[in-house]
Structure 1
Amino acid sequence: MSGIHIGIGGWTYEPWRGLFYPEGLPQARELAYVGEHLTATEINATFYRRQSPASFAKWRDAVPAHFRFALKGSRYCTNRKDLAEAGESVANFMAQGLVELGDKLGPINWQLAATKKFEPDEIAAFLALLPATHEGLPLRHAIEARHESFDDPAFFDLCRKSGTAVVLADSPKYAVLDAPDCAPFVYARLQNARADLETGYPEAELDAWAERARGWASEGREVFAFFINGAKERAPAAAMGLIGIC
């Protein structure tokens, strides 16, 4: 269905070679292969270090027009005692050249530390630091809050007011915050794949996620769903399975 983007985390992972990637596929061709079989990927490298404009341009040119890149916001923005003080780091993140992705840029996921607790004034100040555009390119933001204290109507209200998506994480480890109406798009991170299943998720669970994704899309919301962690070797098969029924 149009408006649903489904993928994995990154594209460089050794266990995928021979399982997802064909034997002998050059590593330099792996992103292009992802672009041929999936419709999105979440780049984790942007969480750890600054990238170059040339890298963003190279990634953009490796995939088809309908493909989307979600980016992890820098840890220098989110792993701090007071998120309200992240303004300079947010500006540095925006200035690294991500505009080179152009229309292929999906949402930016600002993943908070698992120990970060909900403080309304701090979160409101942080959300206010996230720009709506950069160098003329529209930006979309999602926040992945993993502490149970964020399961609070006040947090969801702050996100609605700013148009920030609340990341829906299918995770056995962290709080599951299910508030898909906070933004014009939905951002899901599916983290519960099982190694003993070829597609990572049982058929019934994939069907349930497909039904939810189609429902969000029918409401006019763009959907981004990524199979992350869990039994990571199964992520590409899970993504292709979900694409096949959406």
Structure 2
Amino acid sequence: MSIRVGIGGWSYEPWRGLFYPEGLAQARELAYVGEHLTATEINATFYGRQKPASFAKWRDAVPAGFVFALKGSRYCTVRKNLAEAGESVGNFVAQGLVELGDKLGPINWQLAATKRFDADEIAAFLALLPPEHEGLALRHAIEPRHESFEDPAFFALCRKAGVAVVLADSPDYPVFEDQGAPFVYARLQNARADLEQGYPDAELDHWAARAKAWARDGREVFAFFINGAKERAPAAAMALIERVGGG
């Protein structure tokens, strides 16, 4: 089974002393994440272009088997017409992410919460997502956040393109359960500050069972604890890793 579990990024002040040991140098934080988790989702790629040297540095900081999911650029996804994002998508994949090599996980194209489903627009956008760059295979996921995407036509377009629909377990946005892609991308956003692990045991057991079922079905699974009580995310991730047998 291939199940990877992580958090969002690695730089977050409340994790220092709670997840990171007291006195751990900030330059060592990513390596520490790599020692205890199996993935992380990089949000910085949503806001701006990164340098190839940065991707290479991140790659070398973590062990074999660890993966980095990337948030697609806002210049691609936060626009009036997604069909016109071709140049921006090209710039995104050409920024040096190939330096991650086999540590590159899926790219999450998170749409604006106000973006409504339009079949022609979404079909055109999905067609812009390249299957590879410089010989490195790329995997894509799309995260709609408007209820109009609860439409069989949308899921059919994603299945045809091999693009995963992000399962965002969120109190603020719709939850899209269709999992027709070769991999599953889950963003778990209901951590609670009053629980050391962020989630009750029963909920962690539930997500572990789902992850194992997806994996048995032949899908690679990526699960990230994002938002909610973010300070609890690393503990929640470690608890889920333990339940799925280390990934």
Q: How does the TM-score come out when normalised to structure 1?
A: 0.99
Deviation string, structure 1 residues 112-136 (Cα, Å, up to 9, x no partner) = 0000000000000000000000000
SS at match of 1:32: helix
> 1:8: how far off?
0.1
Query: Following TM superposition, by how much is the alpha carbon of 1:234 offset from its aligned partner in structure 2, in angstroms?
Result: 0.2
2:225 is matched with 227
- Report the Cα offset of residue 235 of structure 1: 0.2
Pair 1:244-2:242 in alignment: yes
Pair 1:64-2:79 in alignment:
no
Structure 1's consecutive aligned runs of 4 or more residues displaced over 3 angstroms after TM superposition are none
Q: CA deviation at 1:26?
A: 0.1
Partner of 1:211: 209
Quote the Cα distance in structure 2 between the aligned partners of 1:193 and 1:145: 21
Unaligned runs of 5+ in 1: none
- C-alpha root-mean-square deviation of aligned residues, in Å? 0.4
- Displacement, 1:205? 0.4
Whole-angstrom CA distance in 2 between matches of 1:115 and 1:194: 27
Q: What's the offset of the Cα at 1:65? A: 0.6
Q: Which runs of 5+ in 2 are unaligned?
A: none
Deviations along 1:168-203, one digit per CA (max 9) or x if unpaired, are: 0110000100011x2100000000101011111110
Displacement of 1:156: 0.3
Calculate the TM-score normalised by the size of structure 2.
0.98
- Matches of 1:169 and 1:203 in 2, distance apart? 20
> Secondary structure at the residue paired with 1:155?
helix
| Whole-angstrom distance in 2 between the partners of 1:78 and 1:88 | 12
For residue 77 of structure 1, what is the aligned residue in structure 2? 76
- Offset of residue 100 of structure 1: 0.1
Identity of aligned residues (%): 82
1:107 aligns with 2:128: no
Residue of structure 2 equivalent to 1:14: 13
Residue 133 of structure 1 corresponds to 132
Aligned to 1:92: 91
Q: Cα distance, 1:166 vs. partner?
A: 0.2
Match of 2:44 in 1: 45
**Cα-to-partner distance string for 1:196-234 (whole Å, 9 max, x where unaligned):** 111111100000000000000001100000000000000
Q: Distance in 2 between matches of 1:123 and 1:192?
A: 28
